Each structure stands twice: as structure tokens, then as C-alpha cells.
Structure 1
Amino acid sequence: MIKVAAAIIKNEQGQILIARRKKGKSQAGMWEFPGGKLEPGESPETCLIRELREEMGIEIKPYVWFGVNEHDYGTVRIKLIAYLAKYSTGENRLTDHDEYRWAERDELLEYEWAPADVPFVERLYAQS
């Protein structure tokens, strides 16, 4: 099982950063909360800081654990560990994604999500 961390990043307006997987990647065309695979011995919070810096060029501050979801994609099984995080600084530049948006919480169900992210989307939507 692959451990993956996902950041539910909020800006000062309370909008949430979402990103669409680009062509050629697994789950291409689907939206997700950005993050990445944990390296051996790495905490989810450290992973998220590193991944968002590498993949999107932004700085974030993870501040609270949000939940865990295990999902079997058939060829790979992942354990997705989500944290709420605050956006700090940086300009979004994309490497693993072809688009990003700052979405309102009540808009989240309008997007086609990667299956592992769906339980987190539903939980966030229920809080609106």
C-alpha cells in the first residue's frame, strides 16, 4: 500500500485549492487535493510542505489532521492521509496538474474527483 498525503488548503477568503491531474498521469482529468507520496520516515505534514513546494511552487502550513481514506484503484492501493492547511505564499506553477482553482466549499461537488478524494469532498461539503 502506498501512503499519500493530501492538503486541503484554504486561503484567506476560505476558498479551497483544487487541482486537475494532467494527461499522462493516473486519474488524468480528475480533480484532487494536491499532495504526494510520503518518502520513508517522512511525516504527512513534512511531505505536504515538500510536495506543494516542488509541484506547485507554494508554501503551506498544515495545521490539523482531517482524515484517512484507503482506496484500491485495481493496480495500486493507496492510503490517503488528509490535512487541513493554510496557504502562505508563492505563485502557483503546475507540474503534475494542468489546471488549478480556488473553489468555494459549496462548489466542490460540481467537479469530477479522483475516487480516493471523494470522502473528503463529501465531508467538506456536509460542513457548508
Structure 2
Amino acid sequence: MRTLIVILTLLASPALAQGMMTADEFEAYTEGKTFTYGSLGAPYGTEQYLANRRVRWSFLDRRCQEGEWYEDNGLICFVYDTEPDPQCWSFRRGAGGLIAQFENDPGLTELYEVERSEEPLMCIGPDIGV
């Protein structure tokens, strides 16, 4: 009976069945690195993973958002200074690197790792005016 419960749980949660990364695995894979992500064959954005689960994100326009990530019920959730509502993702490792599924609306966005670097994310400075 216990085996049946485990099988049904895995079938009900495809992300778990496909090897969803834990928070510790995600942190070990990303910390100190900068990832460029793509979606549907096009560039999407770049995120730098800093110490203490801090992040820096850009939609490839060099305007950066500072934030942090945390684990919530097996998902990796991000909040940013300019976007305080949590954005939760499931991450798994594919043949080419990370694959991220946006869990706030699973039919909407899947991102995949295009490039991984140890170089920091380049951001433009704040708007300067008189």
C-alpha cells in the first residue's frame, strides 16, 4: 500500500517525477555564477546568483533588479526589490543545464539555461537627472 501511495504522489506531481532540484542542490549549482536563460528559442534574461541566496536579474537590457530566493514547499521562489510578489519556479537539470518551469502559471513559461559564467552581471547605473 505504501508503494502505491508513493507512485500516486509521483504521478500527481510531474516536477517531482522528473527530478526537481532541492533548494540545496539549486544553491550548490548556481551560487557564484551568472546564468543566461532562453525561452522558445529566444534570449529571455540573465540572473546572477550571489551569496546568501541573493540574486540580480536583468531582461537583457542591463537594467538590473536586486532580489533574493527561498524555498517554499519544494519550489524556488524569487522576490525582487521592484517586484515583491513571489515568483515560484521548479528547477530540474536537463542535458544542456537548468530547466525552469514557472509554477505560478505552469502553462506560461519554461526557461532553459543557455550560458553559465562566473562573470558578474553587467548593469547600467541608476537614472541620473537634474
TM-score scaled by length of structure 2: 0.26
Higher helix share: 1
Q: Which structure carries more relative contact order (alpha carbon 8 Å, separation 6+)? A: 1
